[in-house]
């Protein structure tokens, strides 16, 4: 390591320096993983503006050695992180890190190639095509989403990017027929359980905010959309001269893990010439297990499907698979061919994929390497076992909560997310029970021993226990339950034991 390099001889990729300065970072992270369960999952130290007071106002004029920088990370940064890799992190959805995902990201970051066009890095483009096909088969999607089936996939950074791109493709297909003025008449549909990404995405691509429909769901359908409700809203819009454009169906909603019926919804969207997108951001990982694949029955009626390996598939941030049935619709909305990207020496340009035309940005990282290393290192069988282990933990949690009469599970668990709450003791104490559940969650998180988040469904405040951390074992889930019971007592729920 030693001191900062002299300025006139900065050798940023000297192989020996690279190895010598990278090893201590590996050791630092290895130590972090060893100790992460000892930190409060959400920092108690963090307060707005504090880090700014700890760091200088301007960048240093002269460089510091790596060990000094790592010591600052240890002292100033780590204590104020929320520890997403803690085995006791049950908030939001998991964001898995893994040894293989990290190795893949190291290779991608180290090679640092930019596969925006085939010629700009053939192997990176080709590997991406291979790996999205692998994932397509693994999650049980129909052949129409494979390159060999006329479709194809791409790796984005986020579902929101996938949504913006597919919305733009759907919009431009419609406007090429109707003229650009029709943008004012296009309507996008989602359920009251869909991710906020769809509303944001519709707004980004210029759909009038008043043309975004939020279709209510209910307990009767497990908070999934029904074909009838969609059909009703769509027909009303058609009757008023609007143009139904795009429906989002979700497999595993963020709030409670609900599943929309893809086949029935696909029949509605087909009838009205709409684009159907299936968002399986979280639960897409579970689809690699055949016992969950009934959830995507009817996917052949969809125009696009997305899922995030960076959530529950051991692929470090960020990585989102998007598959489309018709790549030409995507590329006709997103392609650009400036002169500085044309390649003078290249023949057969029409045989190759230029992934810049499948996404928003031109520059893009070599994400395929990361997902490929995960699949190679753990194998399909390893990944299925990994998913099933979390599902078993969630089943145990669901069963245990249900068996305690103070609590209720709000809607049946589908994957590894359990939405539960303290149940009302009598009719009519709706506000009181919400307030008590709110207090319960605050108390749980204030302990620092776990981190959970909440949702509001049917006007009920529910606590979300999202199992799926890379380090989470059954004992962590059991400890979480002990903590829930302890805090329930503290906030005044009557003991039953």
Residues in 75-104 at the binding interface with its own copies, rule: CB under 8 A = 76-85, 92, 95-103
The side-by-side arrangement of strands in the sheet containing 152-156 is 152-156, 320-324, 304-307, 275-279, 243-250, 186-191, 212-215
Q: Which of 220, 363, 426, 431 binds its own copies (CB under 8 A)?
A: 363
The answer, yes or no, to whether the previous bond of 318 is cis (omega within 30 of 0) is yes
Closer CB to its own copies, 181 or 405, in the complex: 181
- Smallest gap from Cβ 441 to its own copies, in A, equals 6
Q: In this structure, what is the dihedral angle of CA atoms 221, 223, 225, 228, given to the nearest 10 degrees?
A: 40
User: Beta 275-279 vs 243-250: how paired, if at all?
Assistant: parallel
Q: Which of 154, 164, 299, 436 binds its own copies (CB under 8 A)?
A: 164
Q: Which of 140, 149, 158, 474 binds its own copies (CB under 8 A)?
A: 158
Q: Which of 132, 314, 394, 433 binds its own copies (CB under 8 A)?
A: 314
For residue 418, give the 3-state DSSP assignment.
strand
Q: Does 129 bind its own copies (CB under 8 A)?
A: yes
Site residues for its own copies, 17-56, by CB under 8 A, read 17-19, 21-23, 25-34, 42-43, 46-52, 55
C-alpha gyration radius of the chain: 25
CA 62 to chain centre: 39
Q: Does 4 bind its own copies (CB under 8 A)?
A: yes
Site residues for its own copies, 375-414, by CB under 8 A, read 375-382, 384-386, 389
- Smallest gap from Cβ 493 to its own copies, in A, equals 17
Closer CB to its own copies, 228 or 291, in the complex: 291
Provide the 8-state DSSP code for 29.
H
* Token code pair at residue 405: 């009469």
Closer CB to its own copies, 148 or 405, in the complex: 148
- Mark 216-230 as b/e (b = at least 16 C-beta within 10 Å): ebeeebbbbbbbebb
Site residues for its own copies, 284-303, by CB under 8 A, read none
Provide the 8-state DSSP code for 189.
E
**Interatomic CA distance for residues 200 and 198, integer angstroms:** 5
Closer CB to its own copies, 216 or 379, in the complex: 379
Mask for 421-460, x = binds its own copies (CB under 8 A): -----------------x--xx--xx------xxxx----
**Interatomic CA distance for residues 314 and 375, integer angstroms:** 9
Q: Which of 344, 403, 405, 426 binds its own copies (CB under 8 A)?
A: 344
Q: Which of 2, 3, 143, 200 binds its own copies (CB under 8 A)?
A: 200
């Amino acid at each position: 390591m030693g001191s900062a390099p002299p300025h006139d001889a900065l050798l940023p990729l000297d192989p020996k320096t690279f190895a010598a300065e990278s090893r201590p970072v590996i050791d630092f992270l290895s130590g972090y993983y060893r100790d992460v369960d000892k930190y409060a999952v959400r920092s108690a130290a963090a307060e707005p503006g504090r880090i700014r007071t700890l760091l200088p106002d301007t960048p240093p004029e002269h460089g510091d050695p790596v060990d000094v920088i790592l010591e600052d990370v240890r002292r100033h940064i780590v204590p104020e992180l929320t520890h997403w890799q803690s085995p006791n992190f049950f908030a939001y959805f998991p964001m898995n890190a893994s040894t293989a995902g990290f190795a893949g990201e190291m290779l991608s970051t180290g090679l640092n190639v930019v596969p925006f066009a085939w010629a700009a890095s053939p192997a990176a483009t080709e590997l991406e095509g291979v790996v999205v096909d692998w994932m397509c088969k693994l999650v049980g999607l129909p052949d129409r989403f494979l390159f060999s089936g006329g479709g194809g996939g791409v790796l984005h950074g986020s579902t929101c990017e996938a949504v913006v791109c597919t919305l733009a493709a759907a919009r431009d297909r419609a406007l090429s027929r109707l003229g650009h003025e029709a943008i004012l008449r296009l309507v996008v549909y989602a359920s009251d359980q869909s991710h906020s990404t769809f509303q944001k995405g519709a707004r980004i691509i210029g759909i009038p905010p008043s043309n975004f429909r939020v279709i209510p769901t209910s307990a009767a359908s497990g908070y999934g959309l029904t074909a009838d409700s969609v059909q009703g809203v769509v027909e009303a819009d058609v009757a008023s001269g609007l143009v139904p454009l795009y429906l989002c169906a979700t497999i595993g909603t963020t709030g409670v893990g609900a599943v929309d019926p893809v086949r029935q919804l696909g029949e509605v969207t087909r009838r009205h010439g709409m684009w159907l997108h299936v968002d399986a951001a979280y639960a897409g990982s579970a689809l690699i297990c055949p016992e969950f694949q009934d959830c995507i029955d009817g996917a052949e009626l969809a125009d696009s499907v997305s899922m995030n390996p960076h959530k529950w598939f051991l692929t470090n941030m960020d990585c989102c698979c998007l598959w489309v049935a018709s790549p030409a619709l995507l590329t006709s909305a997103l392609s650009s061919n400036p002169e500085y990207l044309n390649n003078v020496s290249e023949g057969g340009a029409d045989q190759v994929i230029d992934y810049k035309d499948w996404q928003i940005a031109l520059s893009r990282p070599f994400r395929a390497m990361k997902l490929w290393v995960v699949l190679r290192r753990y194998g399909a069988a390893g990944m299925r076992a990994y998913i099933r282990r979390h599902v078993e933990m969630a089943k145990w949690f669901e069963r245990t909560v249900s068996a305690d009469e103070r609590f209720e599970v709000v809607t049946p668990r589908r994957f590894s997310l359990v939405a539960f709450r303290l149940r009302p003791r009598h009719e009519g104490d709706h506000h009181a029970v919400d307030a008590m559940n709110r207090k319960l969650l605050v108390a749980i998180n204030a302990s620092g021993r776990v981190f959970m988040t909440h949702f509001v469904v049917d006007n009920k405040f529910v606590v979300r226990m999202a199992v799926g951390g890379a380090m989470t074992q059954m004992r962590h889930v059991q400890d979480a339950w002990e903590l829930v019971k302890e805090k329930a007592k503290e906030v005044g729920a009557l003991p039953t034991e």
